[in-house]
Amino acid sequence: MPVAYIALGSNLGDKEKNLEQALDRLRKHGVQVLAVSPWIATAPYGVTDQPDFLNGAAKVEWGGDAESLLHTLLGVEQEMGRQRRRHWGERNIDLDLLLFGDQILHTDDLNLPHPDMANRSFVLEPLCAIGPEVVHPVLKKTIRALWQALQEKEHETKQESREQNMQDRLKTGVVLVLLYTILFAIAESVQIVPGLSGLRLAGMLSVPYGLIFGRLGAISAALGAALGMVVTGGNSNFIPIEFLGALLSAYLPFRVWQGMRSPQEPYLCVEDERTGMMYFVLSLIGTVPMAVFPAVGGDLYKIVPFPASYPKMFLASLVCTVVGGFIVYLFAAPRMFRGPGEALWNRIRDPKGTTRNLAVAMIRITLTGGFLGLGLAFIFPNEFELIIVEYVMGIFAAILFILTAV
């Protein structure tokens, strides 16, 4: 009987169980499985907004012809409930016929060898584990040679891609910093707490920066705040304070979202009540550090007591971050995720992950501390500069900073 090689893949449900079940079903249909490669985890190919795959290859014998083996593979996929939602999309099982002896075949239903196998590392790597010396009937090269050549090509491509991505990040970062600086400088012209803080208009950008650009957006916001302080001639002692406030205002919502989202939800688009509520919670999280850090700094440097400054800055930050940020995000997010900016976003998107437990802890700590500050401000009169308030909120600000490094 002729020897054939098939590729197996899955990225939904219990992936390893799906692959093992597919092999069992093939055996029941008369396919003799001679060897199976180790399973390897791979990134999605072609369409990237989906879970990672588990891939492998199998060496089999089949008593019929190539087309009957293909129909058997498709039958097993159907038995296992595969749904073809989109090309290169998610699937609980994927079975491809790669090679059937040394046959070269081109029909409406089947092409042998598989036309793109030499360009897919998730095919060649497991195939090389069970048939390194098998010769590709068309290319006249062994699977080992094809795998080595593809590795070299991918290394060169990755190097070029990293350089391009770095340039894209740099250019995007410069634009983000300038936008934040301009808005920060405009806001400083209207002081809500004289000598300490202007309108918190830059809060309109903080959460969108974080959710769309991740760490790049957070750092850009921080640099924009620092540059805004320099441009407006602000107190030099407050440059690091505004830097940290802007940094966490963008970064904490990003980290929380990364921990709360589902694998099928790579980005947040506000489309219904659930996503709208999620954005509202993330906006509240972004509001807190934008108000806490300058209020603590004002108390620390004896400019304005915390109880006198924090409520005003919290309210201004809340309006700008929740309402203004929502308007900005509704405009920018669809254009970056699904519109003209999609290609750029895919190149510079931040893969930083967060566990769900850490995300929940961030929500609780941030919101508890933020509203605790309001409670302290209303409990203690403005004329009393109590050291307990300074210590409590100073410790809370330090905890927020520590969360960014976790």
Task: Report the catalytic residues.
Answer: 82, 91, 94, 96
Q: Cα(355)–Cα(357) distance, rounded to whole angstroms? A: 5
Both tokens assigned to 282: 């993330």
Q: Cα(142)–Cα(339) distance, rounded to whole angstroms? A: 42
Cα→Cα distances 115→95, 219, 291, Å: 15, 44, 58
Which are the contacts of 233, defined by CB distance < 8 A and separation ≥ 6?
Answer: none
Residue 286 · residue 319 · CB < 8 Å: no
